[in-house]
Amino acid sequence: MTDYRTPLIAGNWKMFKTGAEAVQYAKALKKQVADVENTDIMIAPPFTALSAVSEILRDTRIGLGAQNIFWEKEGAFTGEISAPMLISAGCQYVIIGHSERRQYFGETDETVNRRLKAAANAGLIPILCVGETETQREAKKTFSVLDKQIKDGLNGLILDEHHPLVIAYEPVWAIGTGKTASPDQVQEVHAYIRKQIAKNFGNMLANAIRVLYGGSVKPDNVSGLMALPDVDGALVGGASLQPETFSQIIHF
Ligand code: 13P
């Protein structure tokens, strides 16, 4: 059953790097991870660099992801990008519902759900981001917040073990702060997420989906996180911006 859960180390570049910088990075990373065999790798550059980076990643095991997607295929939606556009730019993955999108761009579980459906229907692998804020954790609302994000986010989605879904648990208080959640906190939440998936979608899917941890993952804390039974990978922000550092994380 664990066959589906090849570890995935994913880099979310956020709004960093021009096209030329992205190309230089991709060339360097390609060399540094040429020896990697049993770990899936993904980088998510800004939209403007996707096509150029995809040329360099061709025939490597480094996957390409986008940082967002719109649910319509085309139309008068200024500034938006659709699934067919991402696929033609070389993407296999798309990050959906990152806390920065929820916090600064008004995304809700409902819009996240529409994006997830568009991505899944187009054959992209969605990486659904969930996580509580510090205030919510202090108010002991972590699990109810996650319940809602998962239930409403995945509402009506047709999922089975052959339609891969990745969930990234990113406690908002751990993003870019240098504060990683403790191994106990991470394992507790990841096991809970898997239990919720089992409840809503059955054990087969719960055992097949990958649950990544994100929030201040660095070369010196990644192996402790990856050793946890319900952690299947990492979604890395700041430490994914240098190929050397990201490569160290990939070689956890
Ligand atoms: P940092 O690794 O910079 O904390 O960011 C995590 C993140 O938001 C990845 O999506």
What's the 176 CA to ligand 1 centre distance in angstroms?
6
Taking only the tens place, the pLDDT of each residue in 98-124 is 999 999 999 999 999 999 999 999 999
Give me the pLDDT at residue 1, please: 40
Tokens 């047709």, residue? 158
The tokens for 208 are 């097949």
Q: With a cut of 50, which residues of the chain have pLDDT below it?
A: 1-2
Indicate which residue of 107, 161, 170, 190 is catalytic.
170
What's the 74 CA to ligand 1 centre distance in angstroms?
30
Residue whose CA is at the smallest distance from ligand 1 atom 9: 237
Nearest to 165 by CA among 101, 232, 106: 232
Residue-by-residue DSSP string for 141-198 = -HHHHHHHHHHHHTTT----TTS--EEEE--GGGTTSS-PPPHHHHHHHHHHHHHHHH
What's the 76 CA to ligand 1 centre distance in angstroms?
32
Give me the pLDDT at residue 45, please: 98
Q: Catalytic site residue 170? A: yes
The region that residue 163 occupies, defined by phi over 0 for left and psi between -120 and 50 for alpha, beta otherwise, is beta
Instruction: For the domain covering 8-236, report its CATH number.
Output: 3.20.20.70
Give me the pLDDT at residue 178, please: 86
Give me the pLDDT at residue 3, please: 62
Distance CA 125, CA 3 (A): 17
Ligand 1 atom closest to the Cα of residue 240 is: 2
Going 78 to 172 to 21 to 118, the CA torsion angle's sign is: negative
SS3 132: coil
Task: Assess whether the C-beta atom of 128 lies below 6 angstroms from ligand 1.
Answer: no
Give me the pLDDT at residue 2, please: 42
Give me the pLDDT at residue 164, please: 85
Distance CA 142, CA 210 (A): 20
What's the 235 CA to ligand 1 centre distance in angstroms?
7
Task: Assess whether the C-beta atom of 43 lies below 6 angstroms from ligand 1.
Answer: no
Q: Catalytic site residue 138? A: no
Indicate which residue of 98, 100, 107, 190 is catalytic.
98
Q: How far is CA 61 from CA 1, 54, 57, 85, 133, in A?
A: 22, 12, 8, 22, 34
